[in-house]
Chain A
Amino acid sequence: MMLIPCPHCGPRVQEEFAYERTLDSVVRLDDGPVTAMSRLYTRANPRGEEIEIWSHVHGCGQWLRLRRDRVTHAISDVEAI
């Protein structure tokens, strides 16, 4: 139900987007095996703001970095990836 400001399309409803994961859980191709699995499975999960990765899957397809408060859902920053 959130309104997410897509850098390309402007504010659009949450249903047009798909949540992918938190930024800190991205596994890079050149991460070592231990680092990779640690990033995949061990999360900070703060009760507050977190940087998340979403994609505007039913819109322009843009991937986004969102800074979102996980308690209030308030989005304070959006960046195109």
Chain B
Amino acid sequence: MTDLIPSPADDLVALDLWRGEDVARLEAVLGFALPGPGKAVPVGSGYVLRVGPWRWWLDGDGFDGGAIASALGERGVITPLGGAWRRVRLVGDDWRGLLMLSGLFDAEVSSFGPGSVASTLLCHAPCCVHVLPDAVAEVYVPSSLAEHCFAEWEKAGWKIRLAAPAIWSA
């Protein structure tokens, strides 16, 4: 049980492909992998996360929106999502236990390991959990519910290490 480290996910982008598109071919065109269901891959300093049947999140400042849009052509679209989600890193041995508090999802099974992604409800908030290669977890929380989730987790004994950006004080 230790720390929660929030950081803004300002560069987050949703990449939607149409049902039935040739994913492998698009990977070649785009120059990065589009992982399978429930998976994420590191790309440069960021990650590509599979969050839906035909939707990926590109999280990182190295993705060139314009280039991706041209490469996609008629086969899909990208939409910036910066500002909609807050990313929070769970640092500590018991991050799996934290996800089980007011949770619904099996984060304690060994197969939910590095490279795994799950969209689920945590503390009644729709979230996305990503297990990083070094076996720490990052949780994407809707910006509007970040305060609620942090309060729940702090009540359970976790500490917010950096103050969540007190959004825009006067």
**A residues at B contact (CB < 8 Å):** 7-10, 12-13, 15-16, 58-62, 80
Contacts and interface: CB of A to CB of B under 8 A. Distances in A.
B51 interface: yes
Contact of A12 (B55, B105, B126): B105
Contacts of A58: 119-121, 126
Contacts of A8: 37-38, 52-53
A62 B120 contact: no
Contacts of B119: 9, 58-60
Contact of B52 (A15, A16, A62): A62
Contacts of B105: 12-13
B103 to A, nearest CB: 10
Q: Chain B interface mostly helix, strand, loop or mixed?
A: strand
Interface of B: 37-38, 51-53, 55, 104-105, 118-121, 126
Given A58-B126, A60-B53, A80-B53, A9 B118 contact: yes
Contacts of A13: 104-105
Contacts of A16: 104, 120-121
B51 A60 contact: yes
A63 to B, nearest CB: 9
Nearest to B127: A58
Given A60-B37, A61-B55, A62-B52, 20 more contacts: A8-B37, A8-B38, A8-B52, A8-B53, A9-B38, A9-B118, A10-B38, A12-B104, A12-B105, A13-B105, A15-B104, A16-B104, A16-B120, A59-B118, A59-B119, A60-B51, A60-B52, A60-B53, A60-B55, A60-B119
A72 to B, nearest CB: 23
A62 B121 contact: no
Given A8-B53, A58-B126, A15 B38 contact: no
